[in-house]
Amino acid sequence: MVILVFALPEEARVVRRRIRWDKSPVDVRQGSFAGQEVSLAFVGISAVRIRELERLIDQVKPRMIISSGFAGGTRSLLEAGDFVLSTNCTDADIAKTLRQNRKIFDAAGLFVQVQRVASASHKWSLNRSRGACAVDMESETIAGLCRQKGISLVTARMISDAINEAIPAVFTQKKISRLSDVRGAVGFAARMLQLTGKLADRLEALIGEL
C-alpha cells in the first residue's frame, strides 16, 4: 500500500479520477493507480490535519508515503508545471536514485516549509539564505511523521508559481481591490486546473518507478 498525501482534495482532482477504486466494502477507501495499491490522505493547509494521516498510517501500515501537491518555486529557472523532487523530505537512498530521472523530474533540491503563503520577495530571500528550490506549508511536517513511524517517504511537488510570481489575493484570503486582481485570479485558477492533470501524469510515472 502507498498513501498519496496532499494538502487539499483539489490538488488531487485528476488523480482521484484515475484511481480504479475497489468496490468491495473496506474501512479505508483504496484502489489501483499506476499498478500500485493506493489510498489518499489530505492533511490540510499547514498540515493542520496531520493526525488524520497518522491514524491512517497506523491502520493500513503503508510501505511508502508519497507527499505531493503544489509548491512555490524559489529557484529562478523553475517555471509553473515543473515537477520537483525534494532532497531533504525524501529518503536519501530513494532521492539518490530518483533525481537522475529526467523523464519524471525537472529539478531536485531543498524544500522549505513556511507558515503563510510566500510572496515573491520572500521566495527570493529563501533562495539566497537557504538555497531553497521550492516552498510549501506541509512537507517538513509530513516528513517528521514519516521519520517517527519509520516509513519510506518521497516528496515531489509541481511548481504552481515561479519565484517572481505572487499567488493572486483571492487565494490567500486577502481582499480584491482592483480589476486586475480578478483577472489574475481567473488566469491562475485556469492554470491550476491544467496543472492538476500534469501532476497526475508525473505521479503515475513516479509510482511506476517505485
Q: For the chain, where are the alpha helices, taking DSSP H only?
A: 13-18, 50-60, 92-98, 120-130, 139-149, 179-209
State the residue range of the domain holding 62. Answer: 2-209
Which distant-in-sequence residues (6+ apart) come within 8 Å of 87 by Cβ? 95, 99, 108, 109, 110, 111, 133
Number of domains in the chain: 1
pLDDT tens-place values along the chain, 210 residues long = 999 999 999 999 999 999 999 986 677 889 999 999 999 999 999 999 999 999 999 999 999 999 999 999 999 999 999 999 999 999 999 999 998 887 899 999 999 999 888 888 989 999 899 999 999 999 999 999 999 999 999 999 999 999 998 876 544 455 555 545 556 566 777 888 899 999 999 999 999 888
Confidence at residue 159, expressed as pLDDT on a 0 to 100 scale: 96
Rounded Cα distance, 76 and 123, in Å: 10
**Global confidence as pTM:** 0.89
Confidence at residue 183, expressed as pLDDT on a 0 to 100 scale: 60
Confidence at residue 170, expressed as pLDDT on a 0 to 100 scale: 46
Q: Which amino acid belongs to residue 73?
A: G
Cα dihedral sign, 125-127-132-137: positive
* CATH number reported for the structural domain that contains residue 162 in this entry: 3.40.50.1580
CA-wise closest residue to 70 among 12, 151, 144, 142: 12
CA-wise closest residue to 123 among 114, 47, 170, 168: 114
Confidence at residue 189, expressed as pLDDT on a 0 to 100 scale: 79
DSSP string of 160-188, one letter each residue: EE-TT----GGGGTPPP-SHHHHHHHHHH
CA-wise closest residue to 103 among 88, 89, 83: 83
Cell triple for 10: 483539489
Confidence at residue 8, expressed as pLDDT on a 0 to 100 scale: 93
Q: Which amino acid belongs to residue 165?
A: E
In this structure, the chain runs to a length of 210
| Rg (the chain; Cα; Å) | 17
CA-wise closest residue to 6 among 119, 113, 98, 142: 142
Cα dihedral sign, 79-81-85-88: positive
